[in-house]
Structure 1
Amino acid sequence: MLQFEPYMPHPALRQYIRSYWLICGSNTKESLELVPDGYPEMFFVLANAVHMPQFNGSSRWSAASDTGVIGQVSGRFTFEMEAGSMLFCVKFYPWTPHLLFKLPAWQLNDAALDMGSVSARPAFRELRERVAGCREIPQAVTLLNDFFLEQFKDLSGENPFVMHVVQQIFRQNGVVSMDQLSGSFRTSRRYIELLFRQHIGFSPKQYARIIRVKKASMYLLDPRFKGQIREVAGQLDYYDQSHFLKDFKAVVRQSPSAFLQDHLNLSETSVLRYLDQWDYS
């Protein structure tokens, strides 16, 4: 069974980085299937092969790449992890890649890109070797903390408005309309959409659906809901169950009942550990 271990970033980085996390493979080849959560990632393959996913049939990935960036993802994706593999990731907040790499966030949509194609700066190209040279993961965390503290020291281009809109979507678990967002922030829908595409990658509507469906997948596995699909749909204000099924299938690539069936063998401890990974508060 795959082993998951989270690590927290330096306090000064917590508006940019949600967490670091490590996935260790077992002694057999396994698949790591992930429902999109709205957080872009930087990844480091530290041991054996981890085959990067293809997104929506796209070939914007490299099986040979061992360090890179995954942008916003519109549907469930899979890492193929060879026996004994190790995958170490930096889970960014949605606005961070645009600030860090100085490029439009939409260029990273549905892609796992090699670090060299994301940034030409030598510091990023050298980062892979520096992380790989660490003997233990806490040492890698310290190295990355120091690296990102330096990168964010003189950061420019932050947009508090975008951050506030994303945080509202988080707080409402994606249950928010464009009219509500434009009304809350007293600005036009068009303005919010343009900013989101540049800073986040997706439109606010698409991003909110990702968050809402991710939350639905969490509720389906949460022991409190006992896998009751109708209750989960109602909890997220899906009053039309066909709408819920349509959104869920669009993101998860399967029905809620099939998703539950795939997770029947997870222990309650594993489920709770899975749920603890995500924070939309």
Structure 2
Amino acid sequence: MQIQPSKHLSSYIRHYIFLENAGNECKRLRLFTDGSTGLIISGSRNFYAAGSNDQVPSSFFYGQPAGYKDFTAAGSFSMIAVVFQPYFFNVLLNLSAKEVKNQIISAEDALKNELLSFQEDLLSGTDPRFIIIKLNHFFSRFMSGKMNSDDELIRVVQQFMLKNKGSVSSKELELFTGYSERHLERKFENYMGITPKKYGNIIRLHHFINLLKENAGSESTACLSYDSGYSDQSHLIKDFKSNTGLTPNQYLKTEKLAVNFIQLR
């Protein structure tokens, strides 16, 4: 279930996602990059990094994923994913997104016990819509006087790139902002953990993913890759596997829990 934040938070939070599993079977989950960072709030402690016995904190922030991360969930669980606008991680925690790229940070370490009540709500089966209303209030108190001119620059550039489906050259960004390519790269890496070029590639990939889901079986991968701005199908396949660990056909066979969160068979 995907729920939008309060309107005044839409510049900082893309959406909330509520997920639950009542069964006892072990599930393989994969989080892959969509250009965003975020927060996972869970009432359980049965999440593990795939391929190890390393337990993942019950609630954690995740930095900009380098590609994808695999987890296993042993038994029943309920969780809320707070999917941030890419730059919000920097604004909220005052940390360089570049320094925490591809990392998991315990929410308890970052915010002490401030998320404990939300974890307890999930454990007690509270309606997730009510929990998300409380989360809207929680995040709102962080925003007073937080945004500055650099925050606004990154937000405007992000919207410009989204509008153009990621197909924006360095020269076009220089003309749009009045800043040099290197200056924008430094700002982007600090706020988003990646360069404008990498973010443009992620936007293009997710544009292809949306077309793939909408046209499954009716359009060839080659046609959809061209419509998404890829020069050839082999470039698309390489980019797709690098970011998701799957081919487009394999991706279609997964269970989509969210735009960048899937269950593997």
Residue 57 (structure 2) aligned to one of 65, 76, 79: 65
Q: What pairs with 1:141-156 in structure 2 (closer than 5 Å)?
A: 141-156=132-147
- What is the one-letter code of the residue matched to 1:34? L
Secondary structure of 2:197 counterpart: helix
Partner of 1:229: 221
Residue 28 (structure 2) aligned to one of 31, 50, 71: 31
Secondary structure of 1:166 counterpart: helix
**What per-residue deviation string (whole Å, max 9, x for no partner) do you get for residues 122-179 of structure 1?**
xx22223111232332232122111111111231445211111111222222222222
Structure 2 residue 122 is matched with structure 1 residue 125:
no
Q: What pairs with 1:266-277 in structure 2 (closer than 5 Å)?
A: none
The answer to whether the 8 Å contact 1:25/1:81 transfers is: no
Give distance in 2, aligned partners of 1:258 and 1:138.
Answer: 33
Residue 20 (structure 1) aligned to one of 13, 16, 19: 16
Partner of 1:188: 180
Partner of 1:43: 40
Q: What pairs with 1:1-281 in structure 2 (closer than 5 Å)?
A: 5-27=1-23, 28-47=25-44, 49-52=46-49, 63-117=55-109, 119=110, 124-134=111-121, 135-157=126-148, 159-223=151-215, 226=218, 228-260=220-252, 262-263=253-254
The answer to whether the 8 Å contact 2:40/2:81 transfers is: yes
**What per-residue deviation string (whole Å, max 9, x for no partner) do you get for residues 80-106 of structure 1?**
222211121111101101011011111
Identity of aligned residues (%): 21
Identify the range of structure 1 (152-161 vs 230-239) with the bigger mean alpha-carbon deviation.
152-161
TM-score (norm. length: structure 1):
0.81
Unpaired stretches in structure 2, ≥5 consecutive residues: none
Unpaired stretches in structure 1, ≥5 consecutive residues: none
Q: Kindly state the Cα deviation for residue 35 of structure 1 after the two structures are TM-superposed.
A: 3.3
TM-score (norm. length: structure 2):
0.85
| Coordinate RMSD, CA, aligned | 2.7
The answer to whether the 8 Å contact 2:40/2:61 transfers is: yes
Give distance in 2, aligned partners of 1:169 and 1:53.
Answer: 33
Secondary structure of 2:137 counterpart: helix
Q: Kindly state the Cα deviation for residue 189 of structure 1 after the two structures are TM-superposed.
A: 0.4
Which structure carries more relative contact order (alpha carbon 8 Å, separation 6+)?
2
Q: Kindly state the Cα deviation for residue 276 of structure 1 after the two structures are TM-superposed.
A: 11
Q: Kindly state the Cα deviation for residue 214 of structure 1 after the two structures are TM-superposed.
A: 2.3
- What is the one-letter code of the residue matched to 2:8? A
Q: Kindly state the Cα deviation for residue 42 of structure 1 after the two structures are TM-superposed.
A: 0.7
Q: Kindly state the Cα deviation for residue 53 of structure 1 after the two structures are TM-superposed.
A: 5.9
Task: Provide closer, same or farther for how the CA distance between residues 167 and 198 of structure 1 changes in structure 2, counting only shifts above 3 A.
Answer: same
Give distance in 2, aligned partners of 1:254 and 1:275.
Answer: 15
Q: Kindly state the Cα deviation for residue 275 of structure 1 after the two structures are TM-superposed.
A: 6.2
Q: Kindly state the Cα deviation for residue 224 of structure 1 after the two structures are TM-superposed.
A: 6.2
Task: Provide closer, same or farther for how the CA distance between residues 184 and 225 of structure 1 changes in structure 2, counting only shifts above 3 A.
Answer: farther
By percentage of residues, which structure has more strand?
A: 2
How many residue pairs end up in the alignment? Answer: 255
Give distance in 2, aligned partners of 1:226 and 1:94.
Answer: 33
Task: Provide closer, same or farther for how the CA distance between residues 139 and 83 of structure 1 changes in structure 2, counting only shifts above 3 A.
Answer: same
The answer to whether the 8 Å contact 2:98/2:193 transfers is: yes
**What per-residue deviation string (whole Å, max 9, x for no partner) do you get for residues 52-79 of structure 1?**
469xxxx9x9624111101111213333
